């Protein structure tokens, strides 16, 4: 939509960063001169001047109060996001590594695409299709994620595709699927958080990662609700809590088991809910009863009185939620840990009921949609499974191929990165910067260097792009139209607000160009709306059904919650017929009859599914409609402390930076607010080591050493140190982290590893 403002026409769109996908508008800078790609002012508007490159009118972010999730509020990252569009901070022409100089040098698009296609083909011919890998990202739009999966499996014929979302919320996704039969981060709108009576926030620092969402917790408390925060650090979020449980990193599973033990012991079970809407309770009960509160206190460091208080607050509340984020999820037992928190919800009847339930606060901009549409190693679009014959047949029919040509599941993200230079010899990477964000990052960097060929699509010359043989500069959020799916499962239209620089192409155009060069004769769509329409057909009838959604509808309604099946009689090709019963058992509101009265409904005949803001209210998406308890005993982290490594390291984020920092480190205001890494440690520990605030300290793990200034604070446990992970170089936190993988989700253990601390030379 275009909004007329006093000064210029603004385009309504969404933030490029986190999964909250805040609504914002972009408007041409009032009176702002067009800018050439070298950053200089152009004399006369777009394209001015013979022999000069196209000039673009700069845009700026302005509030969009009408979008209900953030109601105009933006954090500093969103507020400054237009800075990423400036020519000076981003790539504007392809780069190819010169055989003679060994340096990345400017090239034409034809040269760059030819070099990429011929290298991929060379590797494929010499070593087979699986010697070519593809690595995607959770920030890619739905259309890009979908196209990347299709490109990998059809054009390259490889099974070796995964993405950085594996490092984000994959444990929550696995636990949600096994409990409820379906993974949607939040099975209810965020606004429900303000209206429930108790929230247990586990391992989320919402105040720094998505500040506009903090207002839901503020409203919760204003409404008389209670907030419990589980976090080893007294973060800005924990400071808002009625009760802060500062557990030892890696012990969330034991904490949830201890709470369930007390729920049973104190008679707080919802027996009727357990008997009518769940299965597997008896084993869950036995497991919880084996975890005595005193034992849980020894494991977690959370005292028995604190544990009892948490159970009392949660149990007394007439409605309650557990929300997890990366804290419990990024562990080598992350899936079992999330399952234990889900068990707590199920045992107390806090799931599948209004204002109650379990939800995951997904992190990346399209963390939800990015995991639905086929860039995961084991997945086809629409949450369909690569090893399910019916799912393969459905997607193959949409793609116009025989199901037999689709590869089987491949390696997960870290396993794929670990195989680079081994049996995977070439990699096409987009929307990710694993040289900073992957665990054991020095090893990953070494593997990237060991490749025969690396092509990177990116907006900026990230640390990973610097290792590439070919760098393809791609358009970004405000320069192209596409859809994302927010952490609520709300599908959103990100509108194009300005032209990309002349030397830049979209990821979809890159895939189109490569497909043509690699002999893919069926054509590869490069228009986002066309891709979305195909994506909807691929998802029809599946768990994440988008088939009732169109760009026009997204524009009209400002977002639609999936599942939203195409209702019978409205789809000309018949795909999606019968999808009223999607087979998922997902409960959604009854379809509305089109009214044509201007109340948001369109058309003259048939029905339009309204989308599904709340899931599971009548039944869960399992075959029998019951939620499943899934039980596991507490077990220690993959790496325990010892005499050599006596401390625990946990990693996380800061307010002014986003993920690997490749974008936000290039925004002056954000960089000034958070210019570099630091090591947070307790004064007791600092005293033992003779470290003062600001001293340089080295954190050493079994994988390497990172150096950064000390930040001494009482807001962390004395046995734990914290580092943010947004930087490369000597302060790279992921040099230290442990790639031990969760057996179900293949999530690495970012949140806990054993380290020691040393004073470092200044
Ligand atoms: Fe953007 Fe997230 Fe900040 Fe909202 S909270 S403005 S989506 S980074």
What's the CA-to-centroid distance between 384 and ligand 1, angstroms? 30
What's the CA-to-centroid distance between 22 and ligand 1, angstroms? 6
- The CA-atom distances, in angstroms, between 551 and each of 448, 484, 546, 610 are 38, 12, 11, 15
pLDDT of residue 57: 77
What's the CA-to-centroid distance between 138 and ligand 1, angstroms? 15
What does the alpha-carbon distance between residue 505 and residue 141 come to, in Å, rounded to a whole number?
15
What's the CA-to-centroid distance between 235 and ligand 1, angstroms? 18
- Per-10-residue mean pLDDT for the chain, 762 residues long? 57 96 92 53 34 63 95 96 90 97 98 98 98 97 98 98 94 96 96 97 96 96 97 97 98 98 98 98 96 97 98 97 96 98 98 96 91 94 95 97 97 98 98 97 98 98 98 96 97 95 96 97 93 97 95 95 83 36 37 33 60 96 97 95 98 95 94 97 97 98 98 98 97 98 97 97 82
Residue 21 Cβ inside 6 Å of ligand 1? The answer reads yes
Q: Which of 333, 347, 349, 265 is nearest to 299 (CA)?
A: 333
What's the CA-to-centroid distance between 274 and ligand 1, angstroms? 38
* The ligand 1 atom nearest the CA atom of 76: 3
What does the alpha-carbon distance between residue 84 and residue 477 come to, in Å, rounded to a whole number?
10
* The ligand 1 atom nearest the CA atom of 20: 7
714 in Cβ contact with 235 (< 8 Å): no
Q: How far is CA 251 from the centre of its chain?
A: 23
β-strand pairing of 490-494 with 560-561: antiparallel
What's the CA-to-centroid distance between 106 and ligand 1, angstroms? 34
What does the alpha-carbon distance between residue 660 and residue 88 come to, in Å, rounded to a whole number?
20
Q: What residue ranges in 579-677 does DSSP mark as E strands?
A: 592-593, 607-608, 627-628, 647-652
pLDDT of residue 55: 55
β-strand pairing of 357-360 with 696-701: unpaired
pLDDT of residue 86: 87
Residue nearest to atom 4 of ligand 1 (CA): 22
pLDDT of residue 8: 58
pTM listed for this prediction: 0.92
pLDDT of residue 523: 87
pLDDT of residue 141: 97
Residue 74 Cβ inside 6 Å of ligand 1? The answer reads yes
Q: How far apart are the first and last CA of the chain?
A: 54
Q: Is 74 left (phi over 0), alpha (psi -120 to 50) or beta?
A: beta
What does the alpha-carbon distance between residue 224 and residue 196 come to, in Å, rounded to a whole number?
9
Residue 77 Cβ inside 6 Å of ligand 1? The answer reads yes
What does the alpha-carbon distance between residue 22 and residue 486 come to, in Å, rounded to a whole number?
9
What's the CA-to-centroid distance between 648 and ligand 1, angstroms? 30
Residue 317 Cβ inside 6 Å of ligand 1? The answer reads no
Phi and psi dihedrals of 109, rounded to 5?
-65, -40
Phi and psi dihedrals of 370, rounded to 5?
-65, -20
pLDDT of residue 606: 60
Give the dihedral sign, CA 117/119/122/123: negative
What's the CA-to-centroid distance between 279 and ligand 1, angstroms? 38
pLDDT of residue 1: 57
* The ligand 1 atom nearest the CA atom of 213: 5
Burial readout 190-216 (b: 16 or more C-beta within 10 A, e: otherwise): bebbbbbbbbbbbbbbbbbbbbbbbbb
Residue nearest to atom 3 of ligand 1 (CA): 75
Q: What is the DSSP string of 396-441?
A: HHHHTS-GGGS------HHHHHHTBTTTB-EEEEES--HHHHSSSH
Residue 214 Cβ inside 6 Å of ligand 1? The answer reads no
Residue 177 Cβ inside 6 Å of ligand 1? The answer reads no
What's the CA-to-centroid distance between 75 and ligand 1, angstroms? 6
Q: How many CB atoms lie within 10 A of CB 463?
A: 22
492 in Cβ contact with 564 (< 8 Å): no
554 in Cβ contact with 590 (< 8 Å): no
* The ligand 1 atom nearest the CA atom of 79: 6
Domains and CATH numbers, the chain: 2-89 (no CATH), 95-168+367-477+506-527 (3.40.50.740), 170-360 (3.40.228.10), 528-611 (no CATH), 647-759 (2.40.40.20)
**CA R_g for the chain:** 25
What does the alpha-carbon distance between residue 460 and residue 663 come to, in Å, rounded to a whole number?
7
What does the alpha-carbon distance between residue 255 and residue 288 come to, in Å, rounded to a whole number?
10
Phi and psi dihedrals of 60, rounded to 5?
-135, 155
């Amino acid at each position: 939509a275009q909004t007329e403002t006093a000064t210029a026409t603004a385009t309504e769109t969404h933030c490029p960063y986190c999964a909250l996908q805040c609504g914002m508008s972009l408007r041409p800078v009032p009176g702002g001169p067009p800018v050439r790609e070298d950053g200089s002012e152009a004399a006369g508007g777009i394209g001015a001047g013979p022999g000069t490159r196209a000039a673009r009118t700069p845009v700026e972010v302005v509030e969009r109060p009408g979008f209900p999730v953030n109601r105009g509020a933006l954090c500093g990252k969103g507020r400054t996001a237009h800075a990423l569009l400036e020519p000076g901070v981003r790539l504007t022409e392809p780069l190819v590594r010169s055989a003679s100089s060994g340096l990345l040098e400017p090239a034409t698009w034809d040269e760059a695409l030819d070099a990429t296609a011929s290298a991929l083909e060379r590797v494929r011919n010499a070593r087979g299709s699986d010697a070519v890998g593809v690595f995607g990202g959770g920030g890619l739009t739905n259309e890009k994620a979908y196209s990347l999966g299709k490109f990998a499996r059809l054009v390259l014929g490889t099974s070796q595709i995964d993405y950085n979302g594996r490092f984000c919320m994959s444990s929550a996704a696995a636990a949600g699927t096994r409990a409820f039969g379906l993974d949607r981060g939040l099975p209810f709108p965020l606004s429900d958080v303000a209206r429930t009576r108790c929230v247990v926030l586990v391992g989320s620092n919402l105040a720094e990662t998505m500040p506009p969402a903090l207002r839901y917790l503020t409203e919760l408390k204003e409404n008389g609700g209670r907030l419990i925060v589980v976090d080893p650090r007294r973060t800005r979020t924990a400071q808002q809590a009625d009760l802060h449980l500062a557990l030892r990193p890696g012990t969330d599973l034991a904490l949830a088991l201890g709470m369930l033990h007390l729920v049973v012991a104190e008679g707080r079970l919802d027996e009727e809910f357990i008997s009518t809407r769940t299965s597997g309770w008896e084993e869950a009960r036995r497991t919880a009863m084996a975890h005595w509160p005193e034992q849980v206190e020894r494991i977690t460091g959370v005292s028995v009185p604190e544990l009892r208080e948490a159970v009392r607050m949660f149990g007394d509340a007439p409605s309650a939620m557990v929300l997890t984020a990366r804290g419990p999820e990024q562990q080598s037992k992350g899936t079992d840990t999330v399952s234990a928190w889900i068990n707590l919800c199920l045992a107390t009847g806090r799931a599948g009921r209004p204002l109650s339930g379990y939800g995951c606060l997904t992190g990346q901009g399209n963390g939800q949609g990015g995991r639905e549409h086929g860039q995961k190693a084991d997945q086809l679009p629409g949450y369909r499974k690569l090893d399910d014959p019916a799912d393969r047949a459905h997607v193959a029919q949409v793609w116009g191929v025989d199901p037999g040509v689709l590869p089987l599941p491949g390696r997960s993200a870290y396993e794929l990165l670990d195989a680079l230079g081994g049996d995977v010899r070439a990699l096409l990477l987009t929307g990710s910067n694993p040289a900073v964000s992957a665990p054991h990052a020095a090893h990953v960097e070494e593997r990237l260097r060991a490749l025969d060929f690396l092509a990177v699509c990116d907006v900026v010359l990230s640390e990973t792009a610097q290792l590439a043989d070919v760098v393809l500069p791609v358009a970004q959020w405000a320069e192209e139209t596409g859809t994302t799916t927010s952490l609520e499962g709300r599908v959103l239209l990100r509108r194009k607000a300005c032209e990309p620089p002349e030397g830049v192409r979209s990821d979809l155009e890159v895939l189109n160009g490569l497909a043509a060069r690699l002999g893919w004769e069926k054509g590869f769509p490069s228009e986002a709306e066309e891709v979305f329409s195909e994506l909807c057909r691929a998802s029809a009838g599946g768990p994440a059904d988008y088939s009732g959604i169109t760009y026009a509808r997204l524009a009209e309604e400002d977002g639609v919650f999936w599942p939203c099946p195409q209702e019978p009689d409205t789809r000309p090709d018949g795909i999606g017929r019968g999808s009223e019963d999607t087979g998922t058992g997902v409960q959604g509101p009854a379809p509305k009859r089109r009214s044509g009265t201007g109340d948001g409904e369109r058309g003259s005949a048939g029905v339009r599914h309204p989308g599904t803001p709340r899931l599971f209210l009548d039944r869960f998406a399992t075959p029998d409609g019951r939620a499943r308890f899934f039980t596991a005993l507490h077990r220690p982290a993959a790496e325990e402390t010892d005499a050599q490594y006596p401390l625990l390291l946990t990693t996380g984020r800061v307010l002014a930076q986003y993920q690997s920092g490749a974008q936000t480190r290039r925004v002056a205001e954000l960089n000034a607010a958070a210019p570099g890494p630091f090591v947070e440690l307790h004064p007791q520990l600092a005293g033992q080591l003779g470290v003062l605030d600001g001293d340089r300290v080295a954190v050493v793990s079994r994988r390497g050493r990172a150096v950064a200034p000390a930040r001494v604070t009482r807001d962390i446990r004395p046995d734990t140190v914290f580092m943010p992970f947004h930087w490369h170089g000597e302060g790279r936190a992921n040099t230290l982290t442990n790639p031990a993988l969760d057996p179900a989700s293949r999530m690495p253990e970012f949140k806990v590893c054993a380290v020691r601390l040393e004073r470092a030379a200044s």
